[in-house]
Chains A and B, each alone.
Chain A
């Protein structure tokens, strides 16, 4: 792939010189974004074509494709160079981000061509997360659209500071300066809130190449640079060696007893043998003994380098921790505020538990507070109970273990995270940390002298939560009630938390939307946990339709303290029994969000006990539960035959 004059094949020296020249070039990563049909893919195709980076066989394939799928009649459709998926070529749209590479004598470029459709915003964000500059395309006939605003906002959120406002299809508005000026003014008006360092407006025609690689004769009124000229010259921020040292530990390299190295990529700053470093989470300090690579030990290593550090002392460090400069440490907290972009069809719900992943660390996390949602058109803050697909909000997050981080504004590597759904493992959100919440570090656990074990011993029982889940009317409360009666007669200390009863007090402010159901379970889980701490056997009788919340409660408790019982009565049978007349109402549409009717029930996959109720007596079912309690050592020293069944 050449952009320089051909070189004599025999001249090895010249090749080495050429290579050295290549190595001096800086790299610019940028993306194209904007609304559907604004010409993003066409622009990249045009850039590749005009910088002579398309091979003959690729050009032949392109001409062939253009006849088959093209939208430009007999002309070449440059978008087909980048729209690489069959579905994209057939539908003439971009679905996922494509990465393309080109270079000029001045610079190397990695371009992310991102989709314009709102539904594929997460793919646009993927492209933006590693970019230094964004080309925001606008169709001159359309002006600023909703997606122009959304993409500019997301680019700003992800820390992109340089924008090229490419006003495309200028040929279709007669190269009008008035239209150009008006769009530029519109854009600058709303973008002034987004904190960009530079906005370079350029009028161009991607289809015909005006102002793409050289100035267009069609627009003598435009005095600014052509697109490629600007991309070659836009100043890039150098790595600031003054930034504090951050080394997220990725991998502990321990091939034998004599070597223990910490491998990772330097997120910021510089490191050299002899430097003092601190382990972020423990505060323990040591000195760097060696900076190891296969090419020999280094005297110093800088931001972006992947190295292995050996320390002077045997300090405890594992993956997810960070080695940092002692004088400027990151925050270590289990609660922090962040901006969050939501990627999943299934809404973000405060209280639900997700897996949070930073560059190398991982922790269970919940959004404790959705402070507000940001309207992408007006940038206004709106109250919200959940975040839907492609929405952006500001949240408080709480993690089960503390993590080490910096604000995203000061470090993109150590200030970012993703959220992963626990069941599907899908990446459902991306976050940028704003600041740690002091609350976490100031509210310490009060150490108590009487322990959970001693309280339980006194009662001659092992405390636990017996969680009955199932449809309304399945018999949960009936069975739980009988079990409690029998336990009580054995002198066991118990308590029943019943869904309906709790909703009269503790949870009377909650309704039946998905958000409220999650909060309902979270509160009950916390109450049950306190009761277990008090040494009780807690019977919880809740529909609790969602797997993730039942799992959340399970994880609140110690191993073996949570026994899940699936009270399995088919929907038809529950509806037939209908003890409270609720099914009749729900089926008439008088009750909304009724489990099994218009709200889902997710059956347990591996309950400790699966009770099939149809055709069985309450006594028999209760005995099964008691057997389970004996098996799990919750109750002991008793003779079941003494009970009347």
Chain B
């Protein structure tokens, strides 16, 4: 217990320790870069962990082809600014089949374009460790997951048989084909993430800030029409509203909130009085009970 370190310093040190542990013990690590605020924080931490060197692993974006256009633009500018090695992967079979969240629903879309795509990419490059930005405060099954979370050769998580994780001693040993998902910001809360972004001035996708955006009300959520692929249903109408996003993902599955928060302090302030969790804006978690655990067993992050 250290009083001399602040709460955020302690979380930062823990994350840096985890990044270095992976770089020192795995042969082929990768960081999953999903462009959201948690990824921005992860990227920042990775830069810190290896300074003055660059992170000794590539960054992989699994592109479902349904991300917000602003996310893609932000991704490319960050890769250029920081000079990290960016790998892109999309599930070509899914694209050929024309998988769409509008037509096939969120479950099928997420399974084929995210979970399967991720497995394809991990197999293609033979990564033995993959960093993810998941936090334990996000969801109940995440609260149960280890920081170094073992996956068998089928990328599957066995929640009933996790390796004990004692102190800061991580068991990083895997057999051929097996891998470990690593979550350096497991112990951060949503508030910690925002507070850190504010303290460190970390760039984030502009979609987190309120702006006038074209949205449609559908299934109780405000969906932003980011391109022509979104067709209006009978009775729906496109409206310009002052909105922002608490989390980012595929635009058809991500609900906006009405807000006039245009600065970081305003976002934090809004968060402090929020009465709903950030995952409420994600359609995939609501489809069925225990859906996150099920997806994780299938190889989802």
Contact = CB atoms under 8 A, between A and B. Distances in A.
A359 B167 contact: yes
A6 B275 CA distance: 12
B173 A1 contact: no
B143 A98 contact: yes
B43 interface: no
Nearest to B44: A294
A103 B275 CA distance: 16
A132 B1 contact: yes
B169 A359 contact: yes
B7 interface: yes
Contacts of B7: 22-23, 25, 27, 108
Interface stretch (B13-21, B97-105, B108-116): B13-21
Contacts of A292: 51-52
A84 B48 contact: no
Contacts of B159: 85, 87, 95-96
A343 B164 contact: yes
B165 A1 contact: no
B166 A6 contact: no
A416 B5 contact: no
Interface stretch (A180-188, A209-217, A302-310, A565-573): A302-310
B13 to A, nearest CB: 4
Given A265-B13, A306-B13, A306-B20, A101 B137 contact: yes
A123 B144 CA distance: 10
A277 B277 CA distance: 48
B171 A427 contact: yes
A294 B164 contact: no
A490 interface: no
Given A65-B289, A253-B50, A99 B186 contact: yes
Interface in A26-77: 26-27, 55-58, 65, 68
B13 A304 contact: yes
B265 A16 contact: yes
B269 A11 contact: yes
Interface string A259-298: 1010111000000000000000000000000001111000
B53 interface: yes
Contact of B166 (A15, A16, A126): A126
B111 to A, nearest CB: 18
Contacts of A420: 171, 173
Nearest to A261: B52
Interface string A98-129: 11110000001010000000000011011001
Interface string B31-55: 0000000000000000111111110
A23 B141 CA distance: 28
Interface stretch (A197-205, A232-240, A594-602): A232-240
A206 B16 CA distance: 37
A10 B259 CA distance: 12
Residue among B137, B260, B294 with the highest chain A CB neighbour number at 10 A:
B137
Contact of A305 (B9, B141, B266, B276): B9
A159 B115 CA distance: 41
A304 B144 contact: no
Interface string B119-152: 0000000000000000011011111100000000
Interface stretch (B187-195, B221-229, B232-240): B187-195
Contacts of A259: 52-53
A358 interface: yes
A12 interface: yes
Contacts of A98: 136, 140, 143-144
A518 interface: no
A9 B48 contact: no
B289 A9 contact: no
Given A294-B47, A302-B4, A425 B24 contact: no
Contact of B24 (A1, A18, A319, A430): A319
Contacts of B261: 9
Contact of B167 (A6, A255, A413): A413
Nearest to A295: B48
Given A23-B6, A130-B167, A99 B187 contact: yes
B25 to A, nearest CB: 9
B6 A430 contact: no
Contacts of A68: 289
A82 interface: yes
A84 B174 contact: no
Given A84-B293, A239-B2, A292-B51, A96 B17 contact: no
Given A236-B1, A265-B13, A84 B171 contact: no
Contacts of A125: 164, 166
A48 to B, nearest CB: 11
Interface residues of A, number: 93
B191 to A, nearest CB: 6
Contacts of B6: 23-24
A359 B168 contact: yes
Given A55-B275, A82-B143, A305 B13 contact: yes
B263 interface: yes
A590 interface: no
B147 to A, nearest CB: 10
Contacts of B274: 1, 55
A2 B273 CA distance: 6
Nearest to B274: A55
B290 interface: yes
A24 B290 CA distance: 37
Contact of A19 (B10, B141, B165, B268): B268
Nearest to A11: B269
Nearest to A355: B173
Interface string A582-616: 00000000000000000000000000000000000
B293 to A, nearest CB: 6
B81 interface: no
A364 interface: no
A468 interface: no
B167 A238 contact: no
A96 B139 CA distance: 15
Contact of A27 (B10, B160, B165): B10
B95 interface: no
B2 A15 contact: no
A22 B166 contact: no
Residue among B143, B160, B273 with the highest chain A CB neighbour number at 10 A:
B143
A412 interface: yes
Interface string B41-77: 0000001111111100000000000000000000000
Contacts of A110: 187
A357 interface: yes
Contacts of B9: 304-305
B273 A6 contact: yes
Interface string B169-206: 10101110000000000110111000100110000000
A495 B199 CA distance: 72
B139 A84 contact: yes
A253 B53 contact: yes
Given A25-B7, A306-B49, A357 B168 contact: no
Contacts of A639: none
A562 interface: no
Closest 7 A-B residue pairs measured CB to CB? A84-B140, A255-B53, A239-B2, A12-B265, A15-B265, A294-B51, A306-B16
18 contacts: A1-B274, A4-B272, A57-B276, A57-B279, A84-B139, A84-B293, A85-B141, A87-B160, A95-B159, A96-B159, A239-B1, A264-B20, A265-B16, A302-B4, A305-B9, A306-B12, A306-B49, A412-B167
Interface of B: 1-10, 12-14, 16-17, 20-21, 23-24, 47-54, 136-137, 139-144, 159-160, 162-169, 171, 173-175, 186-187, 189-191, 195, 198-199, 260-261, 263, 265-266, 268-277, 279-280, 289-290, 293-294
